[in-house]
């Protein structure tokens, strides 16, 4: 099987855990332990999110701005692709799986939405940190304030041929980390972030994947999310499309949107489910199957 496996933020941090690198590494290693048999026996590309990590990197840059110049967010994405990719590659090596991190650039459209990144900040945090957020949009959520940045839609993966070449040689690529480094059609860096699930759909389509697995921290797509009492075990793409407007932007919605786009474009199947129940998803004991009605 040829597949794209998209790892959500719970691959790095579980709910309530602090954002420490040793915790992230432990969780990534635990995730790879569960995925290793499938990866070893199939032709897989791994993608991953980086919302908390790039948000932390943005705060570091803002706090140190009086000492060293801040980086563009696109370069912060490249940085986090590198260190997260390194942890995934070393975790796979523990299972004797050859892998390589591809710092991935993605050409995007002029259309965009606004996406929150980084930790929740209180009024006290904003005052204590003493950072200038005048050039950023800030939105208040129930847990506090978050920084909003542009999130353009992905169109084309620049390194797609390199990714295919690695796959042909039996190497597992780690690609499209954090959605990829966003570029305009003239290959200029853009100050924003790409949704990694939508980039994963583009990647899965381009490599002619048999399946797209979008792994997160819920067992199923739910009719009543976030209450999560009415699981959907399978759904056709037309019915799934009718659900989109009722789902939370920046949370489960882009995952379902990516699954819909993949099955509509390829007539193949996508799965949304809990990373730590991956073997149950493969065995159809868990997870939501998204398919196109024939």
| Whether pLDDT at 74 is above 80 | yes
Lowest model confidence (mean pLDDT) among 97-111, 219-233, 274-288: 219-233
Task: Tell me the mean pLDDT in the region 41-65.
Answer: 87
pLDDT confidence band for 284 (50 / 70 / 90):
very high
Task: State the chain's mean pLDDT as an integer.
Answer: 89
* Helices and strands of the chain, counted as H and E runs: 9, 14
Q: What are the tens digits of pLDDT across the range 137-171?
A: 888 877 788 888 899 999 999 999 999 999 999 99
Distance, in Å, from the CA atom of 252 to the CA atom of 85, rounded to the nearest integer, reads 24
| Whether pLDDT at 17 is above 70 | no
Task: Tell me the mean pLDDT in the region 165-180.
Answer: 97
Task: Tell me the mean pLDDT in the region 9-25.
Answer: 70
Q: What is the pLDDT of residue 125?
A: 80
| Whether pLDDT at 122 is above 80 | yes
Q: What is the pLDDT of residue 14?
A: 65
Q: In terms of C-beta distances under 8 Å and separation of at least 24 residues, what long-range contacts does 111-115 make, across chains too?
A: 111/152, 111/153, 112/150, 112/151, 112/152, 112/153, 112/192, 113/150, 113/151, 113/249, 114/139, 114/148, 114/149, 114/150, 114/151, 115/148, 115/149, 115/150, 115/151, 115/192, 115/193, 115/195, 115/250
Distance, in Å, from the CA atom of 203 to the CA atom of 47, rounded to the nearest integer, reads 9
Higher local confidence (pLDDT), 251 or 7: 7
Q: Does domain 2-209 have CATH number 3.90.480.20?
A: no
Q: What are the tens digits of pLDDT across the range 190-234?
A: 989 999 999 999 999 999 999 999 999 889 998 887 777 899 999
Tokens of 70: 């801040």
Cis-peptide, bond into residue 226, ω within 30° of zero: yes
Q: What are the tens digits of pLDDT across the range 226-251?
A: 777 899 999 999 999 998 887 766 56
Q: What are the tens digits of pLDDT across the range 39-51?
A: 999 999 999 998 8
Q: What is the pLDDT of residue 18?
A: 62
User: Facing residues of 105 across strands?
Assistant: 181
| Whether pLDDT at 184 is above 80 | yes
Total-model pTM: 0.91
Higher local confidence (pLDDT), 145 or 292: 292
> CB of 81 within 8 A of CB of 178?
yes
Task: Tell me the mean pLDDT in the region 59-68.
Answer: 81
| Whether pLDDT at 4 is above 90 | yes
Residues in the chain: 294
**DSSP type of residue 192:** B
Domain ranges of the chain: 2-209, 217-294
Q: What is the pLDDT of residue 19?
A: 63
Q: What is the pLDDT of residue 228?
A: 78
Q: What is the pLDDT of residue 294?
A: 78
């Amino acid at each position: 099987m040829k597949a794209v496996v998209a790892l959500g933020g719970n691959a790095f941090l579980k709910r309530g855990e602090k954002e420490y690198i040793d915790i992230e590494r432990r969780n990534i290693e635990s995730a790879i332990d569960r995925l290793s048999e499938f990866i070893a026996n199939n032709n897989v590309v791994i993608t991953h999110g980086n919302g908390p990590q790039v948000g932390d990197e943005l705060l570091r840059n803002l706090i140190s701005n009086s000492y060293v110049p801040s980086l563009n967010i696109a370069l912060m994405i490249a940085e986090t692709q590198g260190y997260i990719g390194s942890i995934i590659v070393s975790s796979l090596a523990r299972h004797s799986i050859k892998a390589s991190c591809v710092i991935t650039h993605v050409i995007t459209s002029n259309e965009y939405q606004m996406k929150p990144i980084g930790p929740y900040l209180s009024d006290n945090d904003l005052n204590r940190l003493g950072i200038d957020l005048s050039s950023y949009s800030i939105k208040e959520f129930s847990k506090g304030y978050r920084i909003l940045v542009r999130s353009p839609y992905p169109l084309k993966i620049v390194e797609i041929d390199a990714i295919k070449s690695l796959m042909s040689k039996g190497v597992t690529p780690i690609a499209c980390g954090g959605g990829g480094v966003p570029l305009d059609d003239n290959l200029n860096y853009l100050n924003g972030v790409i949704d990694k699930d939508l980039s994963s759909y583009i990647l899965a389509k381009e490599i002619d994947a048999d399946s797209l697995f979008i792994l997160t921290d819920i067992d199923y797509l739910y009719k009543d999310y976030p209450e999560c009492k009415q699981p959907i075990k399978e759904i056709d793409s037309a019915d799934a499309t009718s659900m989109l407007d009722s789902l939370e932007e920046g949370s489960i919605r882009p995952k379902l949107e990516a699954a819909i786009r993949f099955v509509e474009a390829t007539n193949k199947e996508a799965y949304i489910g809990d990373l730590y129940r991956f073997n149950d998803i493969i065995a159809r004991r868990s997870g939501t199957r998204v398919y196109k009605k024939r």
